[in-house]
Structure 1
């Protein structure tokens, strides 16, 4: 029996369908679907994994954060545990009788490791099994047939490089996360995540935010005039001095220009600008382009992975920006002679020679991202089609001619003051006909000749200020990470997703929270190695050397542990200062605004029993309070409600879209209003209870219990979890729900 192992179930199913001479037979093994068919060589069985089916971890003895010091994790044993019990069982069962195994996982460092993990499980029960490896960059009939016709060897060095990354990231992340979280007093779900790649990336975002905070805007003025041509067209001309830094200077210039004055055309310069076509997509360029049309990095890669496994595009994780000679480019374009992109394909095929553009990076593992097969819009959802179209159009654009623009520069004299106006129009669309994204618009000027006199229709001075450097968008940040050697093409988008899920950043462009700033400031002061890219880029380079067979994995792992040990020595010396630094920063991140009653800080607080709410720092003198949702992390934004003096907040729940709750006070008032409207709608004029004691059936003792639980007013009771309240007060759940119903 010949066992073929793919990285995912859908890939196994598609590959089996491509290679089978007829229909495949679906057989369930240990609860896992497999696909098989008979061939001249015997039975062939295809099984899909679920990515990594095992994970690295520490022995259970190290799991207690309070008893095991963080630094002990540096030299702790690392064990392998199963994450997909059914798949592991199926591999063992099939592996016992397999005469040959073909690893058909994705061809990259991570895919090689996933394949070796599966192979190791099989070799435990069948040590002498013969095995081979196939490489492909698209799940299409031609690519799969070629790959299985030319098998190669498993690259254990490449797998070791992937394994070393897992070990290093586990040891660094777990030990530093535990240390920083304990120092800050943030345990449980609210722990402070620290990572080898994550922390330097977060540092980049925080540094940019500090640049913005330190930026001092400088005022300047712009002077412009609206001119009317002989044909009656009105257009804008700007003063030769782009920015006036002194108000007196712009006032003096404006004093020389008046409505009705003549504007003499003193110079006209017409030229042609060549607009070169773009280079092929690698992962970073693809994410950047997807980001510009509204996709997050993680969502773009998730959809790209789906398109790949369904055979629509090539492998989306690649550094390559040069199409390989082995790729039949004309045949690839001919695929689109029918369908939605027919006119574009036929236009390109008119060329006698198809010469694509080339980027700066050329690798041999995978080609740049290109459309692998023709798809119909009905076969995809809206987002999938949007990204598929992006890939198709970019592919076409790399073969297209340059675009050409006609540019016009004009100068005008208005009573001794020089003005200028520039125009541009696309005269030869070239590649922009195929790839229309983010295209600049034509800036048209009326017909002008030197010596013409135009009338000044309007004169305007606009006061402006210089702007701080912009925050990083996801696409831009991934490009910077690539340039600095932070992460890989397969992990950078995941790092950014982790920053969001840990409530270190919000929005796009990315804005750090006060918690993020506190963590980065602490690391930069007491463990600067963790916040700079040098360390992680050095380890990335060493992992590449493992993949090339230049150095053994153990040498890199030992070096990384030594580096981490030096960091912990610094941390131990400054233990108290680190704790104080973190706690001060985290407290600041809980401030929602200023109490309108007593001017104290309004904070995210927790009751004795753990429920959270917005309370006044002036308690017990001030009892102002507002409810908060029971679950999710609270992120305080920099948008301020002028009416209530509170910052807008976001609620982040893992795996869900962030909830922009807005101003908590406005939100609460809106909720109250909706409740009143609901009462009116139902035709009840029953007066709403004002306090806990106003609800029928609640006595003084019960009210005190609810108060102790942090349920201070009727609204808190209404929004609280009835089961949790029952545990606190020993009151039946049904009774509490009746009270809540009475309020609502």
Structure 2
């Protein structure tokens, strides 16, 4: 038995294989130089198995638009809400993908070792997708772990289970939405604003993201609050009592007043009788709580606030420490240690350290006592050290030391002290003072990131009187709120549900990279001209694009998908429609965006129309949907001026329709097919003279959707089976209620009735027909057309191989709207008179016996749109002499 194991990073694969093999794994090279292969023997389910361990480097597949939709000028931005998307492997990761494909061919079992969070689950399913294309029936198992240690890895092997598709679906929905929404708004903003402000924004990418903009909105909102703040003067009374070197300040119970005259009256009142009377003295125990077990958000905030490392870099370092097996998984919302976790053993590993070893030893003596929070993601424990190391340097050392000290502190005791509160009265004005005596630092001995300062106070007794050293009237001004720090911003994002603990740092970094915000004193966020202009521009339209509501709703829906409550397709479509409506209105009011940006960029805007087609290339209109991937198929021109139909899913989908040489020219007709539906366009053909006669004139408008099998057969349209695409192409969901994931259209009976009713009022395709189901006897005088009347005999007059040949058609005059499309060669009726009337007749080789006014019967199967097949496979005859074995081009009778 051979088992393929795939981890999320090479370091993880290396350490996991090391633990499972007892350090005896053999390394060999993969096709990617960064992703090695480790092999070893392992007893799996009581059998000796050969284990192969390799890795990816994050996401193996990513959502992308297909074909012309990828080009910035290939389509209007609003088309991206419906454009087909696919999950494909980028060129950088093709070697990783090839390694996995090669290794899985000889494997019996696939074990996924990606991180146990949403993204990790989705990456796992990307690996599964690649493997199942090579080996569809391979057994798939999921290893669940929170740290890369020997105990955790072996426990994961003993508890293998199925991967969670719901969690992966949530990531796919989020990823596709981010692509569609972000690309539509980014292209619109960038292409428009470059033209409106060519001198300022010519080289800018003006991106939009549904998490990016609310994050920017927080910065702008706080900045405007600071700018708009008007300070107010206030007055307060301050009492000081000093004995020797100890000075105690009593705070006025009124705190402050904004009425100066009244405050002066109260101050004079205190000075009239300045004797202070102690009314109450209260001494009580005071504790400073030890920290909660560490989660991701707290790690990001402390990294920024205390370690002076930005959140993105902090998480990058934490990922490296995790992959080296030094800490547990760093992306977790949990702040509760599970019971039976073995905390004393983890503490014991640190008793030898010169800096915190003594504290760890004392902690073991007193017994660990973790403070428990209230959050758990049911996937990972709080962040904690899993292995002791003293050889780290730089920022890695800082982050690792913080995690260790935080871990030891949260297992210790709260700091203990005594707080004394003294209340005094001076001529009926009340004042209060506090003092603090620290009794035991406890956790603060190992946790230098927090301070607790003692505050001396005199010993007072109730009823005591004294004369204050000073009673002063002091003035001040209210102060503006503080600009946001990175820690403040992360707190707001968490509070309002913008992003996740795993993505906060990325969103913040993105708005800095785009120059939407900058840092003041390298600490405080301030918006740039472009950032504040964009936010105020959309705000002036009445939208909440910079507010957290829309994105927070999505985050709740994604959690609903993970919990099995929400349908991914419904969530996807609802969110697309919300943003599509916002986009449509934003385009209509785009001049408001110009006005606001002009204000902050200090540049006069150029006048540009409010539409989405600025500098756009025309997107080809769809002819029909692809039977392979469901994307639209469009008419394209070849270099030799001929045409063909290709799928917009190219290059992963290579489905195409090629026309024979008899087709000189083909173009889109203005109408759609009333039988196949509004998403199938009619085509106007120009044929070589006589090549389609007598069935079709040289210029003919018809449908290749399947409702005219004769036309498809004569055009030799069949299913083109090319190489299977290596990616999944997903058209946008237009009707969630009827969407079943299939690439074919579900046409209900009601819709068929609707199409038949429309034929009375809408333009129809004048389609030549084959003979009726039952041919009459005789010389043809009793032949009836589709109108139920006697057909009229005609003679071919054109100079073609059929010249002089007789045929039957409707007797009504040309141009009569009631004239049907019946057609039958007269010599078929002659043949029919001598044949067995009980046998089914096929009057024309290669065509089904079809009545186009009756959709019932076996021939109606050919109407399934996208199923491009020839009808009955009969030997072809020469168009000149009607004999088999050759064509008209090499006919001996020419």
**Same topology, TM > 0.5:** yes
What residue in structure 2 maps to residue 469 of structure 1? Answer: 481
1:218, distance to aligned residue in structure 2 (A): 0.5
1:490, distance to aligned residue in structure 2 (A): 1.0
Map 1:431-580 → 2, pairs under 5 A: 431-449=443-461, 462-507=474-519, 508-526=523-541, 528-580=543-595
Map 1:36-435 → 2, pairs under 5 A: 36-39=39-42, 41-83=48-90, 84-185=93-194, 189-229=203-243, 231-249=244-262, 251=264, 267-293=280-306, 294-339=308-353, 340-351=355-366, 354-376=368-390, 379-411=391-423, 419-435=431-447
The 2-side partners of 1:545 and 1:188 are apart by 42
Q: Which stretch shows the higher mean deviation, 245-254 or 218-227?
A: 245-254
The 2-side partners of 1:493 and 1:238 are apart by 41
Contact 1:397/1:434 (CA < 8 Å) preserved in 2?
yes
1:217, distance to aligned residue in structure 2 (A): 0.8
- The C-alpha deviation readout for 1:540-559, integer Å capped at 9, x for no partner, is 22222322334443222222
What residue in structure 1 maps to residue 629 of structure 2? Answer: none
Contact 2:369/2:413 (CA < 8 Å) preserved in 1?
no
1:477, distance to aligned residue in structure 2 (A): 2.3
1:302, distance to aligned residue in structure 2 (A): 1.5
Structure 2's unaligned 5+ residue stretches are 195-199, 606-894
Task: Say which SS state the counterpart of residue 420 (structure 2) adopts.
Answer: strand
Q: Which stretch shows the higher mean deviation, 455-464 or 358-367?
A: 455-464
The 2-side partners of 1:396 and 1:496 are apart by 30
Higher helix share: 1
Contact 2:534/2:593 (CA < 8 Å) preserved in 1?
no
Question: Cα distance 1:187–1:257, how it changes in 2: closer, same or farther (>3 A)?
Answer: closer
1:332, distance to aligned residue in structure 2 (A): 2.6
| Higher gyration radius (CA) | 2
Contact 1:228/1:234 (CA < 8 Å) preserved in 2?
yes
The 2-side partners of 1:574 and 1:417 are apart by 59
Aligned length: 586
Question: Cα distance 1:274–1:173, how it changes in 2: closer, same or farther (>3 A)?
Answer: same
The 2-side partners of 1:160 and 1:413 are apart by 67
TM-score by length of 1: 0.73
The 1-side partners of 2:159 and 2:190 are apart by 51
- The C-alpha deviation readout for 1:665-691, integer Å capped at 9, x for no partner, is xxxxxxxxxxxxxxxxxxxxxxxxxxx
Question: Cα distance 1:586–1:126, how it changes in 2: closer, same or farther (>3 A)?
Answer: farther
What residue in structure 2 maps to residue 34 of structure 1? Answer: 37
The 2-side partners of 1:534 and 1:234 are apart by 51
Task: Say which SS state the counterpart of residue 50 (structure 2) adopts.
Answer: strand
What residue in structure 1 maps to residue 780 of structure 2? Answer: none
1:249, distance to aligned residue in structure 2 (A): 4.7
1:427, distance to aligned residue in structure 2 (A): 1.7
Task: Say which SS state the counterpart of residue 545 (structure 2) adopts.
Answer: helix
1:207, distance to aligned residue in structure 2 (A): 1.8
Question: Cα distance 1:265–1:18, how it changes in 2: closer, same or farther (>3 A)?
Answer: same
The 2-side partners of 1:580 and 1:456 are apart by 61
1:161, distance to aligned residue in structure 2 (A): 1.3
Question: Cα distance 1:149–1:193, how it changes in 2: closer, same or farther (>3 A)?
Answer: same
Task: Say which SS state the counterpart of residue 29 (structure 2) adopts.
Answer: strand
Contact 2:598/2:604 (CA < 8 Å) preserved in 1?
no
TM-score by length of 2: 0.61
The 2-side partners of 1:111 and 1:527 are apart by 38
The 1-side partners of 2:387 and 2:511 are apart by 35
Map 1:611-650 → 2, pairs under 5 A: none
Contact 1:403/1:431 (CA < 8 Å) preserved in 2?
yes
Task: Say which SS state the counterpart of residue 315 (structure 2) adopts.
Answer: helix
The 2-side partners of 1:510 and 1:178 are apart by 26
- The C-alpha deviation readout for 1:591-614, integer Å capped at 9, x for no partner, is xxxxxxxxxxxxxxxxxxxxxxxx
The 2-side partners of 1:92 and 1:120 are apart by 10
- The C-alpha deviation readout for 1:117-138, integer Å capped at 9, x for no partner, is 1222222222232221101101
The 2-side partners of 1:331 and 1:22 are apart by 22
- The C-alpha deviation readout for 1:647-680, integer Å capped at 9, x for no partner, is xxxxxxxxxxxxxxxxxxxxxxxxxxxxxxxxxx
The 1-side partners of 2:540 and 2:30 are apart by 55
1:170, distance to aligned residue in structure 2 (A): 0.7
Contact 2:533/2:593 (CA < 8 Å) preserved in 1?
no
Question: Cα distance 1:527–1:458, how it changes in 2: closer, same or farther (>3 A)?
Answer: closer
The 2-side partners of 1:208 and 1:66 are apart by 37
- The C-alpha deviation readout for 1:470-495, integer Å capped at 9, x for no partner, is 23322232222222221112111211
Question: Cα distance 1:375–1:461, how it changes in 2: closer, same or farther (>3 A)?
Answer: farther
1:215, distance to aligned residue in structure 2 (A): 1.9
Contact 2:239/2:470 (CA < 8 Å) preserved in 1?
yes
- The C-alpha deviation readout for 1:615-651, integer Å capped at 9, x for no partner, is xxxxxxxxxxxxxxxxxxxxxxxxxxxxxxxxxxxxx
Structure 1's unaligned 5+ residue stretches are 591-744
Task: Say which SS state the counterpart of residue 193 (structure 1) adopts.
Answer: coil
Question: Cα distance 1:297–1:455, how it changes in 2: closer, same or farther (>3 A)?
Answer: same
The 1-side partners of 2:578 and 2:259 are apart by 54
